[in-house]
Structures are given as C-alpha cells and as structure tokens.
Structure 1
Amino acid sequence: MSQIQPFPFVSVSGKPYDRGLQYGRVVASRVELSASRYGQTLRKLGYSEAAQRDLIRSLEQLIGEFAPAYLDEMRGIAAGAEVPYEDIVMINARTEVLAKARAEQAQAAEDEDGCTGVLVLPSRSATGQLIHAQNWDWKADCVDTGIVLRVRNDDGPDFLTFVEAGGLARSGLNAAGVSITANYLESDRDFTQLGVPLSLLRRRVLEEPVFANALRVIATTPKSCSNNIMLGMAEGFGIDFECAPDEAFPLYPGDDQMIVHANHWVSPIARTKLRDTGCESSPDSYYRDWRVRQVLNATPMVDRKAVKTALFDAFGTPYSVCRPPRPGTRHTMSATVAMIVMIPAAGEMDVAPLPALNRIFTRYSLQNEPLHEAV
C-alpha cells in the first residue's frame, strides 16, 4: 500500500465516450490497477473463457437496455486507460459478480464490504443544511484505486462522485441537491433474478434533476442482489431503501431527525418477509449504527465536524465504525478505505482516505478546485 495521499480529482465533460476517454487517460494507472483486481476475478475463480464471454454479454445486454450511453462511456474509459473493455464492465458489476461467485462456490465473503451511512435532516443540522455521509469499508489496498470524479453533464445536472477507478459512480451528489450512499446487504432472495448492476443505479440517481424520479429508480428497478441505498434531498428530506432484488422497504428519519444504517436489515416488514444472510461477514453491524447514533445524539445540533467525529468512532476496534487495516476473512487486509461527508446544498464532498490512520480531508466541489484540510 502506498503512502496515504488524497484521492485524485478527475473533472470531465462532453459526450459519454469523450468523457470516458478523458477519465481513463487522467487516472490510467488507477484504472489499470482496478482492472487487474476485478477484471481478472472470473479467471481466478476458474471460469472458462466461454463462461466469461457469456457473463460479459449478459451484463452488456442489461446495461444496454438500462442506459446504452453507459457502455459508450465504459468503452471510452477502456480506450483512455488502455485496458480491456470487458474489464471495465467487470469493475462496474463487481458487487454482483463477486457476490454471485461466493454464493455459487459456497465461500465466505472475500472481504467484509461493510459501510456505515448517516443522514442528518436540516432541522437537526447546525447550519440548516442536510448532511449525508458514509464510511466505506472494503479492501484496504483500494485506497490506491479510489478517485473523485466530477462530470460536467450536457444532459442533466453536473455531479460529483467518489468511486473506484473505472467505475461510473458510487457515493455522490449532484447540482440538483440529490445525494446517495449505499451499504452492503444480503438476503435469501439474492440471485433469484437478473437485474441492473447497483453501481449504475447510483449513477442514474446522480443524473436525475428531480428527486422523486431518483426515488423511483431505486425503488422499482430490478436488481440481482440486495443493497441498502440512502438518498438525500438538499431541500430537507432523506429516505433509506433496504432493497431486495425484487422489493424495496423504506425507512424514514426518526424522532432524532436522522437516518443511520450499517449492514443488517432493520425494516420490520422486511424482516418478516426475508432472511438476513449477511451476519457471518459483518456481525459488528449490529452495534456500528447504534454507536453512530449514540455519538450524534450527544450533540443537540449536528454539523459536519460532529458527523466526522461519529464516523471516527473506535468502539470495538478493529471491528469498529472506523475500521483500521486488519486481516479479512480471505487473508487480505480490510479497512475503512474512505470517509465521505457531503453537503448537497453546497455541492461539497469532504473525503479522507484510510481515516483510522489519517485525519486529513480533501474538500471536493462541483464549482471549485480541491482544498486539503486537517480535522
């Protein structure tokens, strides 16, 4: 793992292929590293060349039916970074491919894809602005593949997203004040149908100028596997969808004017209709959301510094809200790779790589150049 540095900032514009070309060229080494990790996944799992082609073909068909321009953008990224196009498709479907491979081979999680998300409504915010944040827990060496991407969009609002290099979106916000984060969930309904890759649902949300349409994308689009998706609206609303492949269960802010979610199912309706199968890979989930809520509820009015303090929480370390690098279940290092704290109304995203070891944030913006600051 390299010395901790801010995530590179990539700003692109133009048509989808041109944006992808710019993106791939600017962070070619990071895209290549992502491709080497995810693009080779099927080969490492023993898939034949024919089986790999069939999977890529099926993913292309799903993506093409959902948003054909995304395939053009992926081709641009591949050309710009000089990596196989099929590897870029794999990067954008890595959640589904890795989880499906585990299920088929009856393996434990390769790494605990944790994440703890929090959303604070303006009525509880010290500045009167909605705050939306997340710790992203995954492979520790992915600190070397993360980037922050800004897209000047010809066909919708500009947007800003933290994402693994080669991907189209992960956590982010747009110029219309819509924000999104997502956490891993598992259920016994996973892989009973084919659906749109989750990363592309996040991207579609970031292209929506109307919040209600963003809700529809998450609530109604078929998925292959479960996921928890939190949406914010700068005007003053937030909602969390616990998504099974074929059904979405909404959770609303509580009396404390917040939503906090980790990696277990919370909706009473969901828990009566499906079985949570994710406890083996993230048992600490059951107290991570509780800890964040406890820390934030000790502060009458919350600002972004208070949210960062809650997400730095070390209770139960190394199985904590802010996870230091530690051995994962498959003999690789797992960690909180990034802390992301967003103010959608301001178009700002503060990001710290490996926050258990580093408290230097970079403030990325829809309008301005990145600014580094210590907390």
Structure 2
Amino acid sequence: MTPTTIRTWSTDLTDPGERGEAYGRAWRDQVRTTLAEYDTLFAGRGVDPATVRAIAEESRAVVDRHAPELLAEIDGVARGAGRQPWQAMAINARTEILARAAAVEECSTAVVLPADGGTPRTIQTWDWYAQMAHETVVRSLPTADGARVVAFGEHGQVAKIGVSSRGVGVHLNILQHTTDGSQVGVPVHVVARMILDRAGTLADALAVVDGVPLGASTVLTVVTAEPAAACVELSPAGWAALRATPGEPLLHTNHFLDPGLAAGEAAANPYSTTRERLAFLGARADAFAAVDPLARVAALASDEPGSVCVDPDPRRAPDDRPQTKATLTIDVGRPALGLAASHPRDITPQEWLTVPA
C-alpha cells in the first residue's frame, strides 16, 4: 500500500485570482508533482502532450464562459506554482483528458436520508492509482456571497468532494459513457465546485448541472440540509438525477443506474469491481444511517473480496492498480467534512479529521 497524506489550507482571500496564486505559492512543489504524475499517466494511457494541451485549452474557454471566477482561481494557481495556465487546467480536466483513453474506475458512495427527517448521513471511499496522490489537500475558502466552502482534492484541483456552510455537500464517482470525449465541456471537478459555491438547495445544484455542457461522465451525489439527496449522473449525452427516498439507502459505484444513460455505457475495465462494491454497500445499508461518522467507517471495514476497501490488484499492470486513498463523510447539518487517509479498515479515531465549513 502507498500511503497518502492529507494536508489542510485555509484562506480568507475573496479575489479568486489572488486566492489561487496564494495557494499555488504555498503548495508549489505539490502542484508540480501532481502535474508530473498526470503527465506520466496521460502518456501511459496513450494521450499525447499535444492532445492534453488542446483539451486543457478548450476547457479553459468553456470554464471562462460558465465560471470565470474559477478560471481566475485556476490561472492563479498556475502563476503561484510557476506553471502555464493550461497545465493547471489539465489537473482539473483530468477526467475529460482520460475520457480519450482506456477505462478507469474509482470510488464507492453511500447516503441515507433518515426516515425521521434528519439530515443525510454519508460516506465515500476515494480510490485512485497507487502511484499517484501521495499528498492531497482540504481547502477552506470563502465564496463571493460570504459563505464558506471546504473542498477535498488533489493538489491544484478546485474541488472533488466537499461541503459548504449553506449545508450542501458533494461526493464524486467516475463513470464512463460512449459519448465521453465527443464534445468540449466544463470539467466535472469544476462542476462540483460550482455546486459548492452557488447552491443552497438540491434544486439549485440541479440548475447548475443543467446549465453547463459536459465532456466526460461522472456521478455527483449531492446532499443538502433540506434534507434531500440525489445521485446526479452526468454525461455528454445528458444527465439524470436519482433521488433519495427517506429511510432507504442511496448507493453508487462506477456504473450508470439510470436506464437511459446505462444503455450508452462504455465497456468497463475487465478487472472492475463496481458491481461487487455496489452489492457490498447494499448488504450494509442499515449501518450507514449511524449518526457517528466512525460507525459508518466501521461498517465498511472489510477484507472480503469485492469490498470497498480496494487494494492494488497484482493481475493489472503496475501503473493501472487503483487503491483506496481516503475515506470521507459529509455532515450538512454542522456542516463539516470528515476524512482520513486510508481504507475504512485501517482508520483509527485518532486519525479522523473533521474540517468545519
């Protein structure tokens, strides 16, 4: 197992460009390492440097149209880290770039809306390649209207998983559709941050999704303090919201559940465990209603084949072995992000980090 370290960074800077530049300066080496790791990954997947730059530049243009403040922040990261703007965008558009290559998979997410009307209970494992993301970061920053966002991601990304002080949280799992790469879209990591920055309700989050073009597929599981929750499956072919029912689990791994989108699903990696992991979650659904985040973590702690604790698979190529890098929960009532770097089975109470929004 390759260990992952989670760093934290907080700022009160409200100007997006200044905020990005301050972050880029503070984490210059880590941003450069993330970029180098992705350069290697893209090359290993057969995506040549010219194509990477072209997709990143196209992504810059579409982000400028739909979220210019986030383009300013990403450009600021590039300045602070001493890299080109398109390179910082490539980190954020990694899903869209990998959509031009072989299938990838990551992550398992579970949500329960309590039957008594309480706020959603959530948990997610984040899986990524063993050779990457040896450091990740939780950023705490203000929004334009005075709210606050706490966002977890790889160094240089605007968001992956997070929560806002408005009581809106976002989990992320990758998906793959036959239309991926067929058009230029707002990177899904940018869409996640747009929801965190702008939404106060599930309806607001769906309006964000409905207002942007997409170039690659993912599922954003949105939870709100209303209470409400939905797995929002995204693809260039369209999107669908699978809404939670109080008292019943809302589960997602790495295949489409909406019948219409599932009809166009791309072929999965032959080693994918997405369906086994979904079944594993379903067998433990009652435990996800626990108020204590660590009780939810304990429910996922398992060495069973097909569990959500993903270990590098020796049958796969050395640069194609995902592993569980982190486990996260979202509390939209507090609101706060809870997390630790590791499998659920390896997490101790002392390692659990809670970052309030």
Read off the aligned partner of 2:326 and give its amino acid letter. Answer: A
Q: Which residue of 1 aligns with 2:38?
A: 38
Structure 1: how far apart are the matches of 2:272 and 2:54?
35
The answer on 1:191 being equivalent to 2:192 is no
8 A contact 1:116–1:261 mirrored in 2: yes
8 A contact 2:113–2:246 mirrored in 1: no
Deviation at 1:245, TM superposition (A): 1.3
The answer on 1:206 being equivalent to 2:196 is yes
Alignment of 1:174-323 (within 5 A): 174-211=164-201, 212-254=203-245, 256-271=247-262, 274-280=263-269, 283-297=272-286, 303-316=292-305, 319-323=306-310
Q: Which residue of 2 aligns with 1:10?
A: 9
**Structure 1 residues 313 and 267, CA gap change in structure 2 (3 angstroms):** farther
Deviation at 1:30, TM superposition (A): 1.4
Structure 1 unaligned residues grouped into runs of 5+: 103-107, 367-375
8 A contact 1:35–1:83 mirrored in 2: no
Structure 1: how far apart are the matches of 2:185 and 2:205?
17
Alignment of 1:63-142 (within 5 A): 63-100=63-100, 102=101, 108-109=102-103, 112-123=104-115, 128-142=118-132
8 A contact 2:92–2:158 mirrored in 1: yes
Structure 1: how far apart are the matches of 2:338 and 2:134?
18
Structure 2: how far apart are the matches of 1:281 and 1:203?
32
**Structure 1 residues 69 and 361, CA gap change in structure 2 (3 angstroms):** same
Deviation at 1:235, TM superposition (A): 2.2
Structure 1: how far apart are the matches of 2:222 and 2:148?
17
Structure 1: how far apart are the matches of 2:20 and 2:323?
29
Structure 2: how far apart are the matches of 1:40 and 1:232?
35
Structure 1: how far apart are the matches of 2:260 and 2:2?
45
Q: Which residue of 1 aligns with 2:335?
A: 347
Q: Which residue of 1 aligns with 2:159?
A: 169
**Structure 1 residues 220 and 46, CA gap change in structure 2 (3 angstroms):** closer
Structure 1: how far apart are the matches of 2:315 and 2:154?
20
Deviation at 1:255, TM superposition (A): 6.3
Deviates more, 1:302-311 or 1:170-179: 302-311
Q: How many residues align?
A: 350
**Structure 1 residues 68 and 154, CA gap change in structure 2 (3 angstroms):** closer
8 A contact 2:171–2:220 mirrored in 1: yes
Q: Which residue of 2 aligns with 1:371?
A: none
Query: SS state of the match for residue 229, structure 2?
Result: strand
Read off the aligned partner of 1:341 and give its amino acid letter. Answer: T
Query: SS state of the match for residue 333, structure 2?
Result: helix
Percent pairwise identity: 25
Deviation at 1:124, TM superposition (A): 6.3
Query: SS state of the match for residue 179, structure 1?
Result: strand
- Pick one of 129, 144, 148 that aligns with 1:158: 148
**TM-score of the superposition, structure 2-length normalised?**
0.88
Structure 1: how far apart are the matches of 2:244 and 2:49?
47
Q: Which residue of 2 aligns with 1:369?
A: none
Structure 1 runs (4+) greater than 6 angstroms displaced: none
Deviation at 1:19, TM superposition (A): 0.7
**Structure 1 residues 43 and 2, CA gap change in structure 2 (3 angstroms):** closer
Q: Which residue of 2 aligns with 1:373?
A: none
Structure 2: how far apart are the matches of 1:192 and 1:19?
33
Query: SS state of the match for residue 201, structure 1?
Result: helix
Read off the aligned partner of 1:275 and give its amino acid letter. Answer: G
Deviation at 1:302, TM superposition (A): 5.3
Query: SS state of the match for residue 159, structure 1?
Result: strand
Deviation at 1:298, TM superposition (A): 5.8
